[in-house]
Structures are given as C-alpha cells and as structure tokens.
Amino acid sequence: MKKELITDFQAKYFAHELSRRGGAGVERVGKALFDACVDLNPHQIEASLFSLRSPLQKGVLLADEVGLGKTIEAGLSICQYWAEKKRNILVICPASLRKQWAIELQEKFNLPAFVLDAKIVRDSQKTGIENAFNMRGIIIISLHYASRMANEIKQIRWDLVVIDEAHKLRNAYRPSNKMGNSIRWATEGAKKILLTATPLQNSLTELFGISTLIDENIFGDIASFRSQYMNMGGDLEGLRHRLKSFVWRTLRRQVLEYVRFTQRKLVTRPFNPSDQEHELYQEVSNFLMADESYALPKAQKHLLTLLVRKALASSPLALAGTLRVIQTRLIKLKDDLEKERTPSFRMTINDFLEDEIYEEIMLDSLDESDDLDDEETEEQEEQISLKLLDKEIQTLGKFIEQAESIGENAKSLALLSALRIGFEEMQKMGAAQKAVIFTESRRTQGWLKDYLEANGYADKVLTFNGTNKDDATGEIYKEWLSKNQTSGRISGSKQIDLRAAILDSFKNDAAILIATEAGAEGLNLQFASLVVNFDLPWNPQRIEQRIGRCHRYGQKHDVVVINFLNKKNEADRRVYELLSEKFNL
C-alpha cells in the first residue's frame, strides 16, 4: 500500500496557501520586471498581478480605458508565464493588430513571438509539421483564423490564451455566433486574459457574453442573468460584486497622480445643409417611414432603415451607394417576377460589403436578431404589385440622382474651415500639423480624399480602411518595401506591412489621415493631436475609442477634437445629445 506523504487536511491547507499567495505581491512578476524594457506604471503592475493572483482562477478581463496600456499589462503576465517555463502561449487578436503584438512582445519584453497565418501553416505542413501550433514561441493569430483553426488549437494544452479586443466576441453565448463559439470551444480549459476598453457598450448581455469566454458558468445561463440583473429592480450591486472577481478596470482619472495626460479641447462645428441637401433628407426620411415597402421588407426594415440613415448622415455619396444596392435588389426582384422565377426579398451581408457602415451597424445594434443573414428571416409572402414595385425602383433612382448631383456640400465646407482652425491651434501648441479624420463609410472616405486634395491638401492625404486597395496606397506600400529591405521590419504579411507603410507615411510626410472604424482599430497615433469626427458614431463608446487613438499615454500635446452637427438632421442632433451627456462634447 502506497504511503501518503501528507494528510487530506494538509493537502487542503497547502492548496489554500498556494491560491492565497499566487498573486499576493509584486515578487510574482519579479522575473518579468527584470526582463522588461518598458516604462511601467503602477496600475499596469497591479493589473498584471490581478491576472496572476490565483492558479485556480480560469481567467480575467482587463478593461482599462483606452490608452492606459492593456497590452503592457498582458505582456507582463505573458513574460511571467514564460519565466516560469509555461510556454504554450497563444494571442488571439484582430488581424490588423498581429504584427503590433509581435513587435511589442519582442522589443519590450524580449520574448520570441511570431504571427501564424495560413501561408505559414501550409509551408510548415510541407516540411512535415502536422500542427503548426506546436511550434516554439508565442503564437499570434487573428480572430477569424482562430475560428477556422479551432480543431488544431484544441489539440494543444495551452498555459495561457490572451484575447485582445474581446468585445468582438461579446455575442459568444449565442448559438448563431460561430466565431465566438469556435474560439471558446478551442480554448476551453486554458487560463485566459481578455482585453477590451469597452466591455459594456449597449447592453448588460455583452458582459455576460464576454464572461462565457472565461467560464460559461460564472453567471449561469442567459435567462438567469437577465432575470437576476436586467429585469426591473435588478441586483446591480450583486452584479458589481460578481464582476470584481474577474474584472479589473482602471480609469484615466485614477492614474493622474503619476501619469500626465494632456487635455482634450472639444469643439463643435454646427452647420446648416443646403436647400438641396435638406430636401433630399426630407424625402428619404418620408420614404423610410412608409408602412409598406418592397425596398424595406418587414423582417429587415429596422436594420435597413439604420443603414440608410447612417449613410444619410455621412455623405450624399454614401447615401447614393447604399440606395443603389437596395435598388439593384428590387430590379432583380422585378426581373424574377417577369420571368416567373421564385422571387426573394432578402438581402445579405455581401450586398453591403462595399462599405463598412453595415459592419458598424451590426456591431452596435441593440438587437442582433436583425442580422441580414439570419437564417430565420421570413420572406414577404403577400401578392407583389409590379406597378408599385416599379414605382419604388423609380423613386430610389430619383434619390440616387439627387444625391450624386450634390458636389461640395455644407459639411465639407465646414470641414475645410475646421481643419484650418485646428492646424492653427496645432501651430500655437508647437504640435505637428497632423489630423485624423474619422468616417464610417468607405465611399465618404474616398470622396473626402479627392475633395481635400483639390482644396489645398494635394499629396497630403492618406486613407486607412479595412481593405486599403486604392492605387495611391499601393504606391506607398511599394516604396516602403523598397526602403525596408534590410531593416528587419518586413513581416511577410501584406496586410501587416501595408498598415506599417501607411503609418510611416502619415508620421513622416502626410498631414491628414482619413480612417474608418475598422481601419483605425488598434492604431497608436499619439504623434497626431487633431481628431475630426466627420460622422458621429451612434455607439457612445466608439467616440472614446476614436479619440483614444491620439489621446493616449505618450501624447505630448493637448488633443483638439472637432465634431460636426447638422442642425436640421434630427438623428444627428439626438446622437449629439446622447454623446454630450456621456462625454461632455
């Protein structure tokens, strides 16, 4: 009979002590601090200790405000795991941030990190490596690739999994959310550190969804969560207590004692649209409010209305593009009927991929059941009138023609004035004359670039979006590759290197960067001090994310933020009121 070395009571006691001491003091990250080549702040060490505190804990959510260094906090924890010989480490992040993660871990923590993508996996398989996730070093992959490679990821016993921009998986609790479910299943059982500056945007269910990535049982099922915390008289104090066990959040105002943040100067530029613009706004608004419409089938009316209103608030060109997508679908519907084919009312995500407004609407939607690709969307079954259908096609054509006939508009004129005032302010402060303009529409982005270059900013404007396929960006990319042949900066991933090329060009040459939400994600632009919100995002947290690209740790000057307000657009005015209440715009 095997002799027991310790009693059950002693085992429990030692387990308790190990758990209690796991993250009790800064000595836990001593090795990480020794190797780190980074200017650390107390809140970053505290956050790292929080993530390391208990070997029995399944994971944490680090949710500091934008610009406080969540990557550094996670890097400290990764470094400590590495020092403790726990080296099966996976970082999952948006594709655009992969190279940035690799550089941060290599340069600031001296850790071997590399980006794993489909090409590297194919090449490794040719050399006999069955599962590339077995390779040594810290592996960095995109969210989408992690979802695709779920089976291979599942085979590895990970010591630590870091998920950056975790709010993108906030619907992981929904059976229909394929990416969230795949990543949760693939990393089940691994210790996790989740990172996001916006854990809560529109609904408490987002916190529930993010928590399921750590442990599906933290709050029970979604019905229990809603009943306990979301119904009238919900136990919010109880929710705060539960969150304290796995959520760490530091706000800017809590670190002012040792981190010098510059000020924000907020400027609102109201404008009145021209009679032509306002007439179009009124006519489109009336069209959207019609009870019956083939253009806006009942099952998708809410989401399609949001799409059109978003485009309407962005620019005439964005509106024209969105309406043309809807008109094209109606023309096909008419053709199907005339040729006695089975008609379909449904529209899909692919119909709107030319622009990024759809993605932002879906990310911000309060009711994701409105998804255009929802398989349960029902067809409109009533008898179709070809006469009424043709009338709607003609009406949409009229709107498109009106929108495309509007060239220089009131908002673009307000932008020129705002840039002039903003750059004058930069000159007074001694800051670089660089502006970041945000829009949610790629159509608006392209038009703005041409407009600004024709109005005093020739060869000084860059664009940054989810594709970056324009000719000018291609030339910048080629020149960057040529300059960096021996610098060691070329990663081999076109998407990552293209991002680096645009950033270098903006920092060294250009004066204006026009960015979409998807393009700007994760950018560190503290060398620029002028932020212009050409479109106001309908999600309050997105305004903070935008400003945080420039107003962050390392910014040396006050940041001027300019917002536009269409005084005759009710939606714009209401959005501005909500944002003002939250951020004092």
Amino acid at 554: G
Question: Which residue ranges form the domains of the chain, and what is each CATH number?
Answer: 8-254 (3.40.50.10810), 264-268+409-583 (3.40.50.300), 275-367+385-405 (no CATH)
State the average pLDDT over residues 557-574.
Answer: 86
Amino acid at 5: L
Position 27 pLDDT exceeds 80: no
Q: Tens of pLDDT along 490-543?
A: 777 777 788 889 999 999 999 999 998 766 666 789 899 999 999 888 777 778
DSSP letter at 3 equals: P
Dihedral of CA 39/44/48/53: which sign?
positive
pLDDT band, residue 18 (cuts 50/70/90): very low
Amino acid at 419: L
What's the rounded Cα separation, in Å, for the pair 569 and 566?
5
Of 525, 195, 513, 168, the residue nearest 359 (C-alpha): 168
Task: Note the pLDDT of residue 91.
Answer: 96
User: Which class for 129: exposed (0-12), middle (13-18), buried (19 or more C-beta within 10 A)?
Assistant: middle
What six digits make up the tokens of 473?
Answer: 């960006």
Q: Tens of pLDDT along 141-168?
A: 999 899 999 999 999 999 999 999 999 9
- DSSP secondary structure, 268-289, as one string: EEEE---HHHHHHHHHHHHHHT
Amino acid at 128: G
Count of C-beta atoms within a 10 Å radius of residue 395 = 18
Q: Which residues are CB-neighbours of 275 under 8 A, at least 6 positions away? A: none
State the average pLDDT over residues 236-251.
Answer: 88
Task: Note the pLDDT of residue 17.
Answer: 47
What's the rounded Cα separation, in Å, for the pair 320 and 563?
23
Say which range, 52-66, 364-378, 412-426, 457-471, has the weakest mean pLDDT. 364-378
Say if strands 530-533 and 435-438 run parallel, antiparallel, or are unpaired: parallel
State the average pLDDT over residues 432-461.
Answer: 93
Answer whether 0.75 is exceeded by the pTM: no
